Amino acid sequence: MNQNDACTCSHASISLKKKTCHQVRIAEEARCDRQYGLAWQKIGKRMTDTKQEQSYFKQVCMAFEEACQKSREVFECYYQIANYPVCLRFAGNSLVPLMTGALKHLAVQKVVKPALTLCLWDQEGTKTDIPPAHFCKSEYYDKSAGTLNTRFYSALQPDNGILSLLSCEENLGFYCVPSAMTLPYYETAAPLRLLFHWWLKENGAQLIHSGCIGKSGKGILLAGKGGSGKSTTTLACLLNGMQYLGDDYVILSMRPDAAIYSLYNSGKIHADNLQRLPALLPLVKNSDSLDTQKAIAFLYDFFPSQVIGSLPLHAILMPKITGKKETIIKKTSPATALMALAPSTIFQMAGSGEKTLDTLAQCVSKIPVFILELGIEAKEIANFLDMFIGNL
């Protein structure tokens, strides 16, 4: 791509941002309402002053300390996430096995001063309730910098009672569930997603709804809405010997150059597609619930050398199911790539907005983008992408 082409791509993607936000919100709000129901409905009212925010945050801090005292034990786990040391503190052990499997590949030794600390407890196991959250929006709450330079994010999901609360000023967050026994399966596959999203966004990175594979130090992003084939394609490439950073959520950083960081090692795929990847079937954790859940496999347990932490980004591909025999690839525009990345990222990541769109627009203006027309054989798709990466 010459300099003029690069300038054209940049202007095209940037000019789309306002239009994209409007189009995305109209289409995705209706879809999310259908898919998530009450989980994303607004409830209550916003807090209106900084003192109220700080008061509630302190109440939650005290509730967590009470949970620690009642459980009589605190477990700490440390991880390296997008080059940031992160500590998870658990009041009791009920949530530890449920929330750490997907992060296992990023585990590190104890860190004296983590960049982010997240505190977790379940109300039933610790006999400690959360303070009433009358202010919460279940979608998100974002308080701009005020006189005390504070910023809080919160989400209360009324369908499952899960509270997520983050202070970006203190780099401290809380995650409380009613009961570890009733934790939704998708929370174990993508634990603490909102908290990671909010904190990363404030620290120069972006959690995105995409998959990523790689080889020879080159990463390829697979972007698109649910059902476009990105998870099946990503998992097929893993089974074919390629590197894996995630098939549903990964972290994008543009500092200084485009790079992808892994967050979860949990592979997720619709049960109907397992027949295309039969080698995954023995690895599935929830094989007895596939009539109502996606199949989940914690891939680091089986492919420790292929599940890696990060790769520089070299190309963005938008998978498209065609029903044809052969896989082919076609160049496309940054505008097309932005429309593939933005909708599901913005509306699966509550609290996204202009900052998220800026990051995505910057990415597609700098990285080559393609349409990947998928063939019908998973093995053939994986072989095709292996050769494609080799030629980048």
* Three-state SS annotation for the chain: CCHHHHHHHHHHHHHCHHHHHHHHHHHHHHHHHHHHHHHHCCCCCCCCCHHHHHHHHHHHHHHHHHHHHHHCCEEEEEEEECCEEEEEEEECCCCHHHHHHHHHHHECCCCCCCCEEEEEEEHHHHCCCCCCCCCCCCCCCCCCCCCCCCCEEEEEECCCCEEEEEECCCCEEEEEECCHHHCCHHHHHCCCHHHHHHHHHCCCEEEECEEEEEECCEEEEEECCCCCCHHHHHHHHHHCCCEEEECCCEEEECCCCCEEEECCCEEEECHHHHHHCHHHHHHCCCHHHCCCCCEEEEHHHCCCCCECCEEEEEEEEEEEEEEECCCEEEECCHHHHHHHHHHHHHHHCCCCCHHHHHHHHHHHHHCCEEEEEEECCHHHHHHHHHHHHHCC
pLDDT (mean) for 82-100: 97
User: pTM score, two decimals?
Assistant: 0.85
Confidence check: pLDDT of 63 > 60: yes
Q: Which CATH class is domain 3-35+205-390?
A: alpha beta
**14-23 mean pLDDT:** 46
pLDDT value at residue 340? 85
**Least-confidence region, from 115-124, 244-253, 339-348:** 339-348
- Sequence ranges of the domains in the chain: 3-35+205-390, 42-201
Q: Summarize pLDDT for 140-152 with one digit per residue, the tens.
A: 344 433 323 347 8
What pLDDT is stored for residue 350 in this prediction?
73
Q: Which of the four pLDDT bands, split at 50, 70 and 90, describes residue 234?
A: very high
Q: What pLDDT does residue 354 have?
A: 80
What pLDDT score does 223 carry? Answer: 92
The least confident of 5-9, 226-230, 279-283, 371-375 is 5-9
**pLDDT (tens digit per residue) in 33-43:** 443 333 333 32
**Residues 62-90: what's their mean pLDDT?**
97
